[in-house]
Chains A and B, each alone.
Chain A
Amino acid sequence: MSSFEKPILVIGYGSTLRGDDAVGRRVVEIIANRILPNVTAVSVTQLVPELAAQIATAQAVIFVDASSDSDLSHVDVREIVNVPGILFAPHIFSPRELLSLASACYERTPPAWLIAVPSMRFEITDGISSAARRNICSAVDAVEQLINELSENAVPYA
């Protein structure tokens, strides 16, 4: 893989003070420690407009977030498609809105995925439940698999 390729951006987000809400950030911290070439790992409390600039220059974006969906029994990898042109500026940005903002400001929307990590406990604590902790390993595997697939299809940075 060439260092001239656009980076793959991995964004994990959530509150580290709300139990399992931090799983996305834990996943990204593990990815960051592996120092993968052409991968930029970002750990944030919440998605903010400033990320749009980084998103616009990325080859692809992988969002990692905790999911409170009780029907979700395993890590879910889903491509984010049909990003709308213009949305309301919301109180809290979602991946789709950030991608939309990148599109509006920079006329570019990279391919993007959301990795949803099943999570159960969102009480005020800095600990992650054992069940969610087990899902972190699966989520890291899912991120790495996506990175490998994207790297094989990488295009030189223009």
Chain B
Amino acid sequence: MSKRIVIDPVSRIEGHAKITVHLDDNNDVSEARFHVAEFRGFEKFCEGRPYTEMAGITSRVCGICPVSHLIASVKAGDAIMAVAIPPAAEKLRRLMNLAQIVQSHALSFFHLSSPDLLLGFESPPEQRNIFGVANVNPALARGGIRLRQFGQEIIEALGGRKIHPAWTTPGGVRGPLTDEECQRIRGRVDEAIATVTTALELFKSVLQKYQDEADSFGNFPTLFMGLVADDGTWEHYGGRLRFVDDARAIVADKLDPYCYRDFIGEAVESWSYLKSPYYKPLGYPDGIYRVGPLARLNLCERIGTPLADRELDEFRNRGELARTSAFYYHYARLIEILGAVERIAELVDDPDVRSADFRARAGVNRLEGIGCSEAPRGTLFHHYQVDRNGIIRMVNLIIATGQNNLAMNRTVTQIARRYIHNGHATNGILNRLEAGIRAYDPCLSCSTHAVGSMPLVVDVVDADGHVVNQWKRDCE
């Protein structure tokens, strides 16, 4: 009699999802699935809105990464206007996107994932949160809180508020930074670098302890995709798309995001609202690829800043596992924070970010626009078609988390097969299944985020749908 184990909801991720583990007649794992159980419908209800409103509307997809949607949306708007934005506007947008990467990665590592690493996967669920981290390492908790605040305050300085800032607009931005704001940001750079350096040392120190997890958390060959600069440097705003394989060999390069439909297909499964994009030349599902921090480090030749490049060298010296295991997303995330902070320091010293020439103005000059940028979780596409009046007729959004969907499903299957035997799942094993998903830091297009207190119910259901066993993890 076949059974399945259900983890519903998955905690400490942004949004709502569940995991089912399917057991065969011998109670061994046949497969596991990551189901996204929420539906938003932005691609449909945005039809009929002016393209100039799209940045404001689509940024409401999420309270964690609104900036990512702002950036991709206004780039699509730039294309519809057919304008080249002023250099100051690009640098200011870059600054905001870097701040977004810092704050989002800090949330992922310090708030959501460091509890597992510091306290252990088998530790009591009620301790696996930021309070637990503060209990055993208050300096790390303080640093993490301050680091996220650093990113949030840059976003607020630019956009007037931390969440859903209405600042970027097709053609540019709505204002520059002042001298005082630049100085204030500059004044916190050293602290931010110290915090992420400490976190990197901590992560490296616990890597040996979690060798089994590193070996089994999404450790398999896939392609990786993301933006890189023309010279191969790490990129987050401009550049072209590159695909590499698990040995970092280039599969396709200098791909124009405008032609994404030539090389990215979108598959749909009946058991999830999350799309499953794939690399078209290899078909579905063989065209599995991953995006996000690990992908970006695999794609680029260098980060382009001294401290981050030093860390990247060390990262690459760790060999194949550091290229292929999702467990190393955490490590890559920290290196990206370091590089982002270094680049922020460079940008606030650039006089352009205080320039008064920050916006190009034009009407509708093209009936289609595609914006592509790197969100913290990976490459983000906004594709709009408009009529002559700039009214949206078609929207297609390809979100980073969706592009990791195939890999996340394969990850939970790998973890389930490694740890679940004879249908027996302990609390620590269930947490590992969630942690495998958490390594990708999925954002399920939700404007709130769960941070660890959710109860967990695992049902073992027989082939007839009867619950034959149940494990419960209560809040209190």
Contacts and interface: CB of A to CB of B under 8 A. Distances in A.
Interface stretch (B75-83, B141-149, B327-335, B381-389): B141-149
A86 B130 CA distance: 10
A100 B453 CA distance: 15
A45 interface: yes
Interface residues of B, number: 27
Contacts of B454: 91
Contacts of A87: 131
Contacts, number: 61
A105 interface: yes
A104 B131 contact: yes
Interface string B123-134: 000110111101
Nearest to B450: A91
A105 B145 CA distance: 10
A115 B111 CA distance: 29
Contacts of B476: 88
B451 A89 contact: yes
27 contacts: A49-B111, A49-B130, A50-B146, A50-B148, A52-B145, A53-B142, A53-B145, A86-B132, A86-B135, A87-B131, A88-B126, A88-B129, A88-B131, A88-B453, A88-B475, A89-B451, A91-B448, A91-B454, A101-B131, A104-B131, A104-B135, A104-B141, A105-B138, A105-B141, A105-B142, A105-B145, A106-B142
Given A49-B145, A91-B454, 5 more contacts: A50-B148, A88-B452, A89-B130, A90-B453, A91-B448
Interface residues of A, number: 18
B131 A89 contact: yes
A50 B453 contact: no
A107 B138 CA distance: 9
B398 interface: no
Interface in B194-235: none
B453 A45 contact: no
A50 B135 CA distance: 17
Q: In terms of DSSP, what is the predominant structure of the interface of chain B?
A: helix
Contact of B134 (A50, A88, A104): A104
A86 B131 contact: yes
A12 to B, nearest CB: 14
Interface string A98-128: 0011001111000000000000000000000
B324 interface: no
Contacts of A86: 127, 131-132, 134-135
A11 B230 CA distance: 47
A101 B449 CA distance: 18
A101 B130 contact: yes
A18 to B, nearest CB: 13
A107 B163 CA distance: 29
B152 interface: yes
A92 B451 CA distance: 9
